[in-house]
C-alpha cells in the first residue's frame, strides 16, 4: 500500500477522529500501569469508599483503588484482543485465498467448514469450550480467533474473485506461472485493503467479545484488574460507587467507538472507489 | 387422466430455484450435523477426566464411577455420540448432572422466557427501524439524519453488556429509580405478568437492533428514492407520504428483509449477554450457569439449540438476499 492510497483513507474526518481515539486508548492501556498510584490488587481503603482522600476514583467492592485498576484494566484485554485479531485475520485470509485460488473440492470443504463455525456467534463458541477446559488465556485467544475465521475467509475470498477474472491473471495461470508469484504479485496487493479493514473490525470485536466473557465470569479471571470484570463485580454497588462501573465502561466504549469510526470510514472510502471504478 | 399427466410433469426439468433450494437444505442438514459433532467433541472428547471435572477433586470413587456410567464414558466415542444424537432427535436431552432433573423439563420455562424477550424485541425493532431509517433517508444530511447516524454508530460499537449496564445504571440505580435493574421472574410465572421487569432487557435489545437495521433501511431508501420512477413520481406532484409508503417501501423491502433476518439471528446471540446483565431467567442465564457448574447436558442442549437457530436464521438471510439479487 503506497502513501497515496493511505492518504485516501485518511480523508474522512471520521477516520482521523477514530485513529486519534484509538491511539489515545492504546497509550492509556499500555502506559496506564506506569501511572497507577497504587497496586491494582492492594486493599487500601474501605469498600465502596467515595472518591476523595487520596483515592481519586474511590474504592471498589473490596476496597481496592478504582483508578489504579482502571489504569491496569486494559492491558491483558488489549494484548489478547490484538493477538486474537491478528491470528484470526492471518489464518482467515489464508483460508479465503486458498479457497478462491484452488477452487474445486478444497474450496467447498473449506467454506463448509467455515459455515460450521459461523453457527457459533459471539461468546457461544468460547462458552462451549470453556465449560470443559476452563478459561485459560491462550485458549480464549484461540477461540476468539477461530470465531473470526469464517467472516475473514468470506471477505477475502470475495475480494480475490474479481482479481482472478482479470485477463492478465488468468493468462498467467494458463501459462503456468508459479502460484507463489501470482499470489505475491497480484492477489495479495489487491486483497490488502479489505483485509486491513477486517483487522480493524476484528480487533474491535475481539475487545467486545473478551470483555463480554470477562463480564460473564469466563474471560480474564479475578483478581486480575480487567474492565469487563470490574463492570460485573462492582455492578451491585452502582448506586453508591458508580465510578467503579462507569470508568471501565467509558474505557471499553472509547476503544470500540474509535475502532468502529475507523473501520466504518475506511470501508466507506473503499465502497466509494469501487463504485467509481 | 392422472396416469397421462404424470410423464408430462416428469419431463419438465426441475426449476433451477428449487434445485438450488434443495442443495441449500442438504448442505444445511450436513452443516447442522457437523455442528452437533463439534459440540459433542468440545464437551465430551477433550482430554481430562470429565467425571472429575464435574464432581470436583473431593469426589468418591463410587460417585466418579456412577457419573462415568451416566455420561456413557465407558463406551466408545462414536457410541456415546450416537446415543446423544438419538436422544436429541427423539426429544430426550438427558438429565442435569447437578440436580438430576430432565434437561427438557428444566429448560422449557427458560426457553419460553427467552422467546418472549426475543419476540417482543423483534416486534419493536422492525417497525422502529423502518420509521427511523425512512425518516433519515427523507431528511438526508439534515440534523436528524446526522444524529441518527452518529448515535447508531456509537450503539453499534458498544458491546451488548455495556449497553445493558448503562441502561440499568440510568433507569434502575443511579439517576432514575423507575425500573427494576434486575428481572425477578419466579419460575412458573409467565414473563408478561411482570411487565416492568421486561422493559430494560427489551430496551437493550431494541437499541442494538435498531442501531444496526435503521442504517440499512436508510441506505435502501436512499437508493430507491434516487431511482428514476420515484423522481418521476415527485415531478408528477404525488405527496411525499404516498411516495414513501406506496412506492418506495415495497421496493426497499427487498434489501431490508435479509437484514431483518440477520437482526433476528444476532438478537438471539445477544440474548446470552443481555439476560445475564439483568439476571433474566432465560436460556442465556441458564447457559452461563451451566458452564460454571460443568453441567454438560445443559450446555450441550442450549448451545445446540442456539447454534442451530442462529445458523437457520443466517441461511434464511442468505437465501433472501440471493432472491433479491436474482430478481434484479
| Distance in angstroms (rounded) separating the CA atoms of residues A97 and A187 | 8
Question: Hey, which of A221-235, A255-269, B217-231 has the most confident mean pLDDT?
Answer: A221-235
Q: How many CA atoms lie within 13 A of A256 on its CB side?
A: 29
Residue A4: the pLDDT is: 58
pLDDT band at B289 (very low <50, low <70, confident <90, very high): very high
- Determine, for residues A132 and B48 on separate chains, whether the beta-carbon distance falls below 8 Å: yes
pLDDT band at B47 (very low <50, low <70, confident <90, very high): low
Entry pTM: 0.89
Helices (H), chain A: 3-10, 13-35, 66-72, 75-102, 104-118, 124-133, 137-164, 167-174, 179-182, 188-216, 227-233, 243-276
Select the more confidently predicted residue: B78 or B64: B78
β-bridge mates for residue B102, sequence order: B95
In tens, the pLDDT along A213-233 reads 999 999 999 889 999 999 999
Pick one of 1.10.3720.10, 1.10.10.60, 3.40.50.720, 3.40.640.10 as the CATH number of B106-327.
Answer: 1.10.3720.10
- Determine, for residues A130 and B46 on separate chains, whether the beta-carbon distance falls below 8 Å: no
Which residues from B are below 8 Å from A122, CB to CB? Answer: 269-270, 272-273
Residue B118: the pLDDT is: 93
User: Over the range A54-84, which residues count as b (16 or more CB within 10 Å of their CB) and which as e?
Assistant: ebebbbbeebbbbbbbbbbbbbbbbebbbbb
Taking the domains of chain B in order of start, what are their residue ranges?
Answer: 15-89, 106-327
Average pLDDT, chain A: 88
β-bridge mates for residue B215, sequence order: none
A195, three cell numbers: 483485509
- Hey, is A239 helix, strand or coil? coil
| Distance in angstroms (rounded) separating the CA atoms of residues B78 and B85 | 10
Residue B13: the pLDDT is: 62
Asked if the model's pLDDT at residue B49 lies above 90, the reply is: no
In tens, the pLDDT along A243-256 reads 899 999 999 999 99
Which residues from A are below 8 Å from B34, CB to CB? Answer: 112-113, 116
Minimal C-alpha gap between A25 and chain B (Å): 15
Average pLDDT, chain B: 85
Contact yes or no for A191/A160 (Cβ under 8 A): yes
Query: For B95, phi and psi rounded to 5 degrees?
Result: -120, 150
B227: left (phi over 0), alpha (psi -120 to 50) or beta: beta
DSSP B48: S
pLDDT band at B15 (very low <50, low <70, confident <90, very high): confident
- Hey, is B149 helix, strand or coil? helix
| Distance in angstroms (rounded) separating the CA atoms of residues B126 and B260 | 7
DSSP A120: S
Q: How far is CA A177 from CA A99, A104, A192, in A?
A: 19, 20, 22
Residue A235: the pLDDT is: 86
DSSP A53: T
- Determine, for residues A133 and B168 on separate chains, whether the beta-carbon distance falls below 8 Å: no
- Determine, for residues B43 and A132 on separate chains, whether the beta-carbon distance falls below 8 Å: yes
Q: For the residues B48-68, what does the mean pLDDT come to?
A: 75
The structural domains of chain A, ordered by start, are: 12-72+236-243 (no CATH), 75-224 (1.10.3720.10)
pLDDT band at A48 (very low <50, low <70, confident <90, very high): confident
Asked if the model's pLDDT at residue A17 lies above 50, the reply is: yes
User: Over the range B74-89, which residues count as b (16 or more CB within 10 Å of their CB) and which as e?
Assistant: eeeeeebbeebeebbe
Asked if the model's pLDDT at residue B291 lies above 60, the reply is: yes
In tens, the pLDDT along A73-126 reads 999 999 999 999 999 999 999 999 999 988 899 999 999 999 999 899 889 999
Q: List the one residue out of B323, B194, B168, B130 whose CA is nearest residue A231.
A: B168
pLDDT band at B293 (very low <50, low <70, confident <90, very high): confident
Q: Which of B27, B29, B153, B162 to mutate to test the interface with A (most CBs of A within 10 A)?
A: B162
| Distance in angstroms (rounded) separating the CA atoms of residues A198 and A157 | 13
In tens, the pLDDT along B153-175 reads 999 889 999 999 999 888 877 77
Which residues from A are below 8 Å from B172, CB to CB? Answer: 238
In tens, the pLDDT along B88-130 reads 899 888 888 888 889 999 899 999 999 999 999 999 999 999 9
Query: Residue holding cell 467433541?
Result: B41
- Determine, for residues A123 and B272 on separate chains, whether the beta-carbon distance falls below 8 Å: yes
Query: Residue holding cell 436512499?
Result: B222
Peptide bond between residue B82 and the one before it cis (omega within 30 degrees of 0): no
Longest C-alpha distance within chain A, in Å?
A: 77
Which residues from A are below 8 Å from B23, CB to CB? Answer: none
Amino acid at each position: 500500500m503506497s502513501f497515496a492510497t493511505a492518504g485516501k483513507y485518511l480523508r474522512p474526518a471520521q477516520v482521523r477522529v477514530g485513529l486519534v481515539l484509538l491511539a489515545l486508548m492504546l497509550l492509556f492501556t499500555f502506559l496506564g500501569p506506569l501511572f497507577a498510584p497504587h497496586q491494582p490488587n492492594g486493599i487500601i481503603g474501605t469498600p465502596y469508599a467515595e472518591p476523595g482522600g487520596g483515592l481519586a476514583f474511590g474504592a471498589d467492592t473490596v476496597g481496592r483503588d478504582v483508578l489504579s485498576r482502571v489504569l491496569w484494566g486494559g492491558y491483558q484485554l488489549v494484548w489478547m484482543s490484538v493477538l486474537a485479531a491478528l491470528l484470526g485475520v492471518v489464518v482467515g485470509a489464508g483460508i479465503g485465498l486458498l479457497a478462491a485460488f484452488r477452487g474445486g473440492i478444497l474450496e467447498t470443504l473449506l467454506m463448509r467448514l467455515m459455515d460450521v463455525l459461523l453457527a457459533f456467534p459471539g461468546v457461544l463458541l468460547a462458552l462451549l469450550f470453556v465449560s470443559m477446559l476452563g478459561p485459560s488465556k491462550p485458549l480464549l485467544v484461540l477461540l476468539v480467533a477461530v470465531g473470526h475465521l469464517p467472516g475473514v475467509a468470506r471477505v477475502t475470498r470475495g475480494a480475490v474473485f474479481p482479481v482472478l477474472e482479470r485477463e492478465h491473471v488468468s493468462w498467467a495461470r494458463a501459462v503456468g506461472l508459479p502460484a507463489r508469484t501470482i499470489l505475491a504479485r497480484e492477489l495479495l496487493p489487491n486483497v490488502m485493503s479489505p483485509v486491513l479493514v477486517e483487522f480493524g473490525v476484528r480487533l474491535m470485536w475481539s475487545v467486545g467479545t473478551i470483555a463480554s466473557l470477562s463480564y460473564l465470569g469466563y474471560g480474564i479471571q479475578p483478581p486480575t484488574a480487567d474492565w469487563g470484570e470490574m463492570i460485573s463485580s462492582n455492578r451491585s454497588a452502582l448506586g453508591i460507587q458508580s465510578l467503579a462501573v462507569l470508568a471501565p465502561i467509558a474505557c471499553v466504549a472509547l476503544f470500540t467507538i474509535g475502532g468502529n469510526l475507523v473501520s466504518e470510514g475506511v470501508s466507506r472510502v473503499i465502497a466509494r472507489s469501487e463504485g467509481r471504478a | 387422466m392422472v396416469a397421462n399427466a404424470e410423464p408430462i410433469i416428469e419431463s419438465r426439468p426441475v426449476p433451477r430455484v428449487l434445485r438450488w433450494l434443495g442443495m441449500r437444505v442438504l448442505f444445511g442438514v450436513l452443516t447442522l450435523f457437523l455442528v452437533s459433532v463439534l459440540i459433542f467433541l468440545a464437551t465430551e472428547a477433550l482430554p481430562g477426566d470429565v467425571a472429575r471435572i464435574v464432581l470436583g477433586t473431593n469426589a468418591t470413587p463410587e460417585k466418579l464411577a456412577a457419573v462415568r456410567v451416566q455420561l456413557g464414558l465407558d463406551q466408545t466415542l462414536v457410541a456415546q455420540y450416537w446415543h446423544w444424537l438419538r436422544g436429541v432427535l427423539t426429544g430426550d436431552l438427558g438429565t442435569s448432572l447437578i440436580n438430576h432433573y430432565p434437561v427438557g423439563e428444566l429448560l422449557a420455562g427458560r426457553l419460553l422466557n427467552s422467546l418472549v424477550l426475543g419476540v417482543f424485541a423483534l416486534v419493536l425493532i422492525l417497525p422502529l427501524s423502518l420509521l427511523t431509517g425512512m425518516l433519515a433517508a427523507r431528511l438526508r444530511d439534515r440534523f436528524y439524519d446526522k444524529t441518527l447516524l452518529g448515535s447508531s454508530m456509537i450503539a453499534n460499537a458498544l458491546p451488548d453488556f455495556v449497553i445493558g449496564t448503562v441502561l440499568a445504571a440510568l433507569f434502575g440505580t443511579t439517576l432514575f429509580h423507575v425500573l427494576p435493574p434486575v428481572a425477578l421472574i419466579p419460575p412458573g410465572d409467565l414473563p408478561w405478568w411482570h411487565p416492568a421487569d421486561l422493559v430494560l432487557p427489551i430496551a437493550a435489545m431494541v437499541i442494538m437492533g435498531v442501531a444496526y437495521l435503521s442504517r440499512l433501511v436508510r441506505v435502501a431508501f436512499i437508493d430507491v428514492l434516487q431511482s428514476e420512477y420515484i423522481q418521476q413520481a415527485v415531478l408528477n406532484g404525488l405527496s411525499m407520504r404516498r411516495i414513501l409508503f406506496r412506492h418506495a417501501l415495497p421496493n426497499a423491502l427487498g434489501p431490508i428483509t435479509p437484514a431483518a433476518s440477520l437482526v433476528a439471528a444476532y438478537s438471539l446471540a445477544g440474548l446470552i449477554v443481555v439476560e445475564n446483565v439483568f439476571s433474566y431467567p432465560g436460556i442465556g442465564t441458564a447457559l452461563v450457569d451451566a458452564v460454571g457448574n460443568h453441567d454438560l447436558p445443559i450446555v450441550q442442549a442450549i448451545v445446540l439449540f442456539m447454534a442451530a437457530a442462529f445458523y437457520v436464521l443466517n441461511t434464511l438471510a442468505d437465501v433472501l438476499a440471493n432472491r433479491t439479487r436474482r430478481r434484479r
